[in-house]
Amino acid sequence: MSAPDPARRNERSRRAILDATRALLAETGYTELTVGAIAARAGAGKQTIYRWWGGKSAVVLDALVDAVEVGGMTLTDTGDLRADLRLVLRATVAEFADPRLSATTRALTIETLIDDELAGHVRDRLLRPQLDAVKDRLRTADLRDGVDLDQVVELIFGPLYHRWLLRTGPLTEEWADGLVDLVMAAIRPDR
């Protein structure tokens, strides 16, 4: 999957394609989504989509990135790290609990397992900005000496991703709050 070339795009067509992709994902899900259906809904040619994105997974990724506006993402700093982490984890749980979004994310995740280039794009364009926002919030907190912020971010999101991907249990706000409590116990400074 090569990176899209923005210089070769008509913005109105690009917007129509991304909007059509999101609408079709909501209606049909990832598995049933086709480049032909995207093109028809957007009023564009399939060749345009293949030229600009290379295939379905690339246009879906762009549509998801566009929807969440991950560039420059920040996490609210209320002065209460526990409350801030609960907010972000509850929001993530809600996203993963949404059946359509979850199915799309699962399908895209499966494709990342066989396509290293796509995996890099998903990591760098969709996940990294969100994880970095959490890490930036952690930098402002009073943490135990020597805490590795990358490990803390993995400690926060790893169990959530594991539970979602393998369906080992329900994703609830109570579960998310319990996870935050465990993370806080691991990172708070010794008093």
pLDDT tens by residue, 113-169 = 999 999 999 999 888 988 999 999 999 999 999 999 999 999 999 999 999 989 999
Mean pLDDT of 64-71: 70
Exposure string over 89-121, b if 16+ CB within 10 A, otherwise e: bbebbeebeeeebeebbbbbeebbeebeebbeb
Q: Where are the alpha helices (DSSP H) in the chain?
A: 11-28, 35-42, 46-52, 56-68, 81-97, 99-114, 116-121, 128-139, 149-166, 173-187
Residue 2 above 80 pLDDT?
no
Query: What does the pLDDT read at residue 20?
Result: 96
CATH of domain 6-67: 1.10.10.60
Q: What is the mean pLDDT of the chain?
A: 88
Residue 191 has pLDDT above 60, yes or no: no
Domains in the chain: boundaries: 6-67, 69-187
Tell me the pTM.
0.78
Name the range with the highest mean pLDDT among 25-34, 73-82, 102-111, 142-151.
142-151
Residue 160 makes CB contacts below 8 A (sequence gap 6+) with: 89, 92, 93, 96, 171, 176, 179
What is 69-187's CATH topology?
A: Tetracycline Repressor; domain 2 (1.10.357)
